[in-house]
Every structure is written in structure tokens, then in C-alpha cells.
Amino acid sequence: MESAVQPTSQPVFPAASQLAPQPAPATSLTFIKLGGSVITDKTKPQTLRGQVMARLVGEIAAAHRQTGQRYLIGHGAGSYGHVSAAKYGTKQGLTDQNSVLGMATVQDEVAQLNRAVVGEFLARRLPAVTLAVSNMLVTRAGRAAQAADINLAVLEQYLAWGLWPITHGDVIADRAQGSTIWSTEQILDLLARRLPRLGYPVERVIHVTDVAGVVIDGRVVPEITPEQWPRLSRSAQLKAPRGTDVTGGIRHKVEAALELAGLGIESVILSGLKSGTLKRCLLGQEVTKTVIAANLV
């Protein structure tokens, strides 16, 4: 009589918890804002400066390999959002079906640019993910006054698992006027205020632009303080942004940086058009730049 066939043993798979990577330790962050004026040609609608963007991402990757510093990346809309936003009046709100279409159009354009930026990081095997603030934030008359107006749960998880969030200026749903636009500077300011509560203090913000800093009378201003800015801001020689910009250009960058200075966060404005400048800055080396120093008083 034949013996009964014994059942084959079932393969034993490790539990999902055994396969998952360990959470990255909470640590300080450096924000890097890749300006729309440097990664796109703002004088030509939807024109990417692909080689410049690839080089800048390469410099960030190289600095990270040397220092281990963690970054949260933001980028401007450049020629992918500002022209349509001005055409449809998206920042001013929804007034008719045309402006509703405009809201969707602007969001689509900036999302296209974001995917290109994310793709450059992924090409270097850096785990970049889109952080679309339009899906996390709601405002009233352009302002986020309540803690419940923004949900940081997704961002907290991204950071906990060592992902690289890539955010951008975006169209925001607004309870009072239907829509508004938040610049990358506004988004980074909000995150700089909220992230320390989650264990991620922000050390500094680096604005990568198409100029070497704040330029007045043909010279880079090395440092700007709150006391200096009212006088400097009135200068007719203050270099204006090229192309259409609905978020305020260099003046807006400085004013946002002065707000962060009051929180103890240093900001730097430098050029991304000169090879190696961003990497040297990230490594703590001297470069031509404008510094808005942290106010530690």
C-alpha cells in the first residue's frame, strides 16, 4: 500500500515589518528653493532649462553624499505657471467658468514642472516625492489662519521614512474667493513654523536664482538686516525679475526671508547659473551671495 503523499511545506515569508526600512531619525533640515527664473526661461512659456536643472540637482546630490544633510526642496513655477496665472487672474479668485478653467490649467502646468524636477532626483537614485500643498492646505482670503487649515500628516510620514519632499508654488483652494496662489516662499515659511513641532527644525533656506544675490547699482548686497531693508527696497536699481511673476520676485524673497530671520532661520540668495556655486554653499564654502542673517535676539 502506497504511503500517503506528505504535503509540501509552505514557504515562510518575513513579516512586512521585517522588510520595511527603519524610520530615518528626526533631524534638522535645510530648505532649498530652486527659483523658476533659473530652472525655466521665464520669457518663454513652458520652457525648461533642462541642463541647468540637472546640474543643480547633481550639486545637491553631491553635497548630500558628503555631508548627510537632509533637504526639503521647493521650486518656483517659472514659465510653467505665472503666465497662465496672470491671464486667468487665479490669485484674485474664481469669478466665472473661465477662471475655474484657469485654476485647473495653472495647477496642471506647475505639476508638469514638478514631475520634471522629481525625475532629476530619481535619476540619481534619491527618493524624491511630490509634495503638492494644494492637497494639504485651504486658505481664507489668501491666509492660513487656523492650525486645521493645513494637514502635515503626509509630510511627516515622508520625512520619517527618509523621502525627499519636492514642493512648489501652487494654486490653493480658498474659502472666501475660490482660489489663490501661494508662492514657494509662503509655503516654506509655513513649513518652517510647523516642522519644528514634529522634530524637524529648519536651519536655513537657500534661494537659488538667476542673480548672484540682491543686486543694487550693479553690486551684490552681502547682507540685509531688517533695519536696512526699507531703504534698500526703495532703490530704483533693485534688480527686477525677468518675465511674468505674480508672486513678487526678489522683493518677496527678501521679505519672506526677514520673516524667517525673526524665527532664528538664516536665508541665502545666490545664483544657480554659475556651476558649483550651490554645492560650495551647501558645503559651507564661501560664495558670492546675499545673507539675511538669523535674528537670535
Cα angle 240-241-244, degrees, rounded to a multiple of 5:
125
Cα(first)–Cα(last) distance of the chain, in Å? 92
Domains of the chain, by residue range, sit at: 24-292
Backbone angles phi, psi at 192, to 5 degrees: -65, -30
pLDDT at 235: 76
What pLDDT is stored for residue 216 in this prediction? 87
Model confidence pLDDT, tens digit, residues 123-152: 999 999 999 999 999 999 989 867 678 999
State the pLDDT at residue 26: 56
Q: Tens digits of per-residue pLDDT, 41-99?
A: 988 888 999 999 999 999 999 999 999 999 999 999 998 988 888 889 999 999 888 99
Rounded distance between C-alpha atoms, residue 90 and residue 170, angstroms? 10
Q: How far apart are CA 57 and CA 151, in angstroms?
A: 28
* Mean pLDDT, rounded, for 148-168: 94
Is 50 strand, coil or helix?
helix
Q: What band does 25 get if pLDDT is binned at 50, 70 and 90?
A: low
Grid coordinates given for 40: 525655466
CA dist 124 and 144 (Å) reads 35
For helices 97-123 and 50-67, angle between their N-to-C axes, nearest 10 degrees: 50
Residue 22: pLDDT over 80: no
Per-residue confidence band for 168, with pLDDT thresholds at 50, 70 and 90: very high
Q: What's the confidence (pLDDT) of residue 110? A: 96
pLDDT of the residue at 251: 84
pTM of the model: 0.86
**Is the per-residue pLDDT at 191 higher than 90?**
yes
Of the CATH numbers 3.40.1160.10, 3.30.460.10, 1.10.10.10, 3.40.50.300, which one belongs to the domain with range 24-292? 3.40.1160.10
pLDDT band at 244 (very low <50, low <70, confident <90, very high): very low
Residue 149's pLDDT is 87
Q: Which of 73, 76, 74 is nearest to 40 (CA)?
A: 76
Measured CA to CA, the distance from residue 212 to residue 208 in angstroms comes to: 9
How far is residue 286's CA from residue 222's CA, in Å, rounded to a whole number? 12
Question: Is a pLDDT exceeding 90 seen at residue 275?
Answer: yes
Report the distance separating Cα 258 and Cα 45, nearest Å.
31
Q: State the pLDDT at residue 16.
A: 47
Strands 29-34 and 202-209: parallel
Confidence band, pLDDT 50/70/90 cuts, at residue 2: very low
Is the per-residue pLDDT at 12 higher than 60? no
Return phi, psi of residue 84, to 5°.
-65, -35
